[in-house]
């Protein structure tokens, strides 16, 4: 049996995640992983750890030969990438939780791992405590993965829960998410859906071997959801959640987006509240599986970082099998979404953009419609994110082939039933 590696850690970042990891490691001595030095940005801050542990000199960690593992948990994607790439080039393994840094540099990070032979693990970067990446990588190592649908941002789920169930104001709910360490340093990343987008970018690689830049995917956050949208959801017995979805299509491609979505009461996602995340995976033969756990916060995130550290003792590395060993899938935008749109003025809505409109209420001060629109149109246009317009995908939102539905609708019209 191979020996477990002893790990000497250089830690970058001592904020919510970094300090959490420091405490967790103190409670897991059997792991034989010790933090030798911590690099931070602001030397003046009071720290709950011995002063001589800290430095602001990144090279003190990166050039230390005794340090064989760099753990990067900082909130600066540019500096994070410099640190991670130098660490790999210097022959060190790396664990990171920085999803923005990872999603924006995936291609280069893959190249660096191949070139240096180093291992970069980042389980905590998607859904914090839920081991979703390693499951996609190892368990769903075949062609049977139909779809992933999940709540993958804790802060927005926390905010939606507080607003709609506890009647908090948006800004108070956001402040609470920040105080509890759930939100990003720049909380617009959470609120505007960018954090979930970065996570979906990472998940697409491990689920389907799809290597895309985050900006290639359709996304929005929760910033435009109106009170009246919540009333509509309530009247239907549904909820509104920020949902990330990737689905294998009949044409072999994969449709993907991050958008607010109505969630039916029978969906496992309906039970996911506060900072919890939930991911429903559908695959051939197994049908549905549901992963649930804390998606943000100090100890939940540190526990996933710890699991990566532990995996490195056995020299674990991602093999990116779907990309390198299978035929990778391609992103495909050739789908239609059934959407609910609420707005203040008809002038903001290009009706001609829709394939068809099923329902239309223009009397009230907040007006709304339900219709079907091509995902590509939403990517090309921005009206649905502007002027206080709110777009929410229906619970069964993806339509692959509209021709059959168009025909059915036409015959209902001819029969005088529509």
Ligand X SMILES: NC(=O)C1=CN([C@@H]2O[C@H](COP(=O)(O)OP(=O)(O)OC[C@H]3O[C@@H](n4cnc5c(N)ncnc54)[C@H](OP(=O)(O)O)[C@@H]3O)[C@@H](O)[C@H]2O)C=CC1
Q: What residues line the site for ligand X (CB under 6 A)? A: 12-18, 39-42, 45, 73-76, 79, 97-99, 124-125, 128, 181-182, 184-185, 296-297, 301
CB of 158 to ligand LTNE7NMQ, least distance (A): 7
User: Segment 278-297, which members bind ligand LTNE7NMQ (CB under 6 A)?
Assistant: 295-296
Interface with ligand LTNE7NMQ, residue 153, by CB under 6 A: yes
**Which residue has 């509104």 as its token pair?**
240
CB of 408 to ligand X, least distance (A): 45
Give the integer Cα–Cα distance in Å for 116 and 307. Answer: 23
Instruction: Name the token pair of 215.
Output: 């900006």
Instruction: Name the token pair of 143.
Output: 């062609």
Active site (annotated) includes residue 199: yes
| DSSP output for 213-255 | -GGGSEE--STT--HHHHHHHHHHT-EEEEEEEEEE-TTS-EE
Closer to ligand LTNE7NMQ by Cβ: residue 102 or 128: 128
Closer to ligand LTNE7NMQ by Cβ: residue 18 or 154: 154
Q: Are 103 and 133 in contact (CB under 8 A)?
A: no
Interface with ligand LTNE7NMQ, residue 103, by CB under 6 A: no
Question: For the window 116-145, what string marks contact with ligand LTNE7NMQ as x by the rule CB under 6 A?
Answer: ------------x-----------------
Closer to ligand X by Cβ: residue 97 or 238: 97
Stretch that binds ligand LTNE7NMQ, among 183-191, 224-232, 327-335, 374-382 (CB under 6 A): 183-191
Cα–chain center distance at 275: 13
Stretch that binds ligand LTNE7NMQ, among 148-156, 214-222, 278-286, 310-318 (CB under 6 A): 148-156
Closer to ligand LTNE7NMQ by Cβ: residue 165 or 334: 165
Interface with ligand LTNE7NMQ, residue 224, by CB under 6 A: no
Task: Find the catalytic residue in 92, 199, 322, 367.
Answer: 199
Q: Are 308 and 121 in contact (CB under 8 A)?
A: yes
Interface with ligand LTNE7NMQ, residue 394, by CB under 6 A: no
Q: Which helix (H) or strand (E) covers residue 323, if one does? A: helix 321-324
Instruction: Name the token pair of 105.
Output: 């540099």
Interface with ligand LTNE7NMQ, residue 184, by CB under 6 A: yes
Q: Which burial class, exposed, middle or buried, applies to 53 when counting CB atoms under 10 A from its CB (0-12, 13-18, 19+)?
A: middle
**Which option in ligand X, ligand LTNE7NMQ, none does residue 174 bind, with CB closer than 5 to 8 A by kind?**
none
Give the integer Cα–Cα distance in Å for 15 and 49. Answer: 12
Closer to ligand X by Cβ: residue 125 or 389: 125
Strand partners, 71: 11, 95
Q: Which burial class, exposed, middle or buried, applies to 296 when counting CB atoms under 10 A from its CB (0-12, 13-18, 19+)?
A: buried
Strands (E), 16-107: 33-39, 54-55, 69-72, 93-96
**Which option in ligand LTNE7NMQ, ligand X, none does residue 153 bind, with CB closer than 5 to 8 A by kind?**
ligand LTNE7NMQ
**Which option in ligand X, ligand LTNE7NMQ, none does residue 12 bind, with CB closer than 5 to 8 A by kind?**
ligand X
Q: Are 132 and 126 in contact (CB under 8 A)?
A: yes
Query: Any residues with CB less than 8 A from the CB of 172 and at least 6 apart, and which?
Result: 162
CB of 196 to ligand X, least distance (A): 12
Q: Please count the other Cβ atoms lying within 10 Å of the Cβ belonging to residue 243.
A: 25
**Which option in ligand LTNE7NMQ, ligand X, none does residue 185 bind, with CB closer than 5 to 8 A by kind?**
ligand X
Whole-Å CA distances, 415 to 6, 410, 412: 75, 9, 5
**Which option in ligand X, ligand LTNE7NMQ, none does residue 181 bind, with CB closer than 5 to 8 A by kind?**
ligand X
- Catalytic amino acids? 199
Q: Which residues bind ligand LTNE7NMQ (CB under 6 A)?
A: 128, 153-155, 182-184, 190, 195, 295-296
């Amino acid at each position: 049996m191979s020996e477990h590696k002893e790990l000497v850690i250089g830690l970058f970042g001592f904020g919510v995640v970094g300090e959490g990891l420091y405490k967790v490691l103190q409670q897991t001595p059997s792991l034989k992983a010790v933090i030798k030095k911590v690099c931070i940005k602001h030397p003046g801050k009071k720290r709950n750890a011995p002063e001589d542990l800290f430095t602001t000199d990144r090279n003190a960690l990166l050039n230390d030969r005794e340090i064989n593992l760099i753990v990067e948990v900082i909130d600066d994607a540019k500096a994070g990438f410099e640190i991670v790439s130098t660490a790999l080039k210097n022959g060190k393994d790396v664990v990171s939780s920085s999803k923005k840094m990872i999603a924006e540099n995936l291609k280069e990070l893959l190249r660096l791992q191949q070139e240096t032979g180093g291992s970069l693990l980042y389980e905590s970067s998607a859904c914090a405590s839920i081991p979703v990446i390693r499951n996609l990588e190892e368990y769903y190592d075949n062609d049977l993965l139909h779809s992933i649908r999940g709540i993958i941002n804790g802060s927005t789920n926390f905010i939606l829960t507080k607003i709609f169930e506890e009647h908090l104001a948006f800004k108070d709910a956001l402040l609470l998410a920040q105080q509890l360490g759930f939100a990003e340093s720049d909380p617009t990343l959470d609120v505007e859906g960018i954090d979930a987008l970065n996570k979906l970018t990472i998940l697409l690689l491990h689920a389907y071997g799809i290597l895309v830049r985050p900006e290639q995917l359709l996304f929005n956050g929760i910033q435009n959801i109106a009170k009246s949208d919540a009333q509509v959801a309530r009247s239907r017995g549904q909820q509104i959640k920020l949902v990330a979805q990737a689905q294998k299509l009949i044409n072999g491609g994969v449709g993907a987006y991050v958008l607010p979505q109505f969630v039916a009461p029978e969906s496992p996602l309906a039970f996911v509240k506060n900072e919890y995340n939930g991911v429903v995976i559908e695959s051939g033969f197994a049908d549905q599986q549901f992963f649930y756990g804390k998606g943000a916060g100090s100890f939940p995130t540190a526990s996933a970082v710890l699991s990566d550290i532990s995996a490195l003792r056995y020299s674990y590395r991602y093999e990116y099998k779907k990309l390198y060993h299978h035929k990778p899938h391609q992103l495909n935008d050739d789908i239609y979404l059934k959407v609910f749109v609420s707005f203040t003025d008809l002038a903001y809505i290009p009706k001609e953009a829709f394939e068809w409109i099923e329902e239309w209420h223009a009397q009230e001060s907040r007006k709304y419609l339900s219709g079907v629109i091509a995902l590509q149109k939403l990517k090309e246009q921005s009206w649905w994110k502007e002027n206080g317009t709110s777009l929410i995908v229906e619970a069964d939102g993806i339509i692959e082939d509209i021709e059959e539905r168009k025909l059915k609708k036409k015959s209902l019209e001819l029969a005088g039933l529509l």
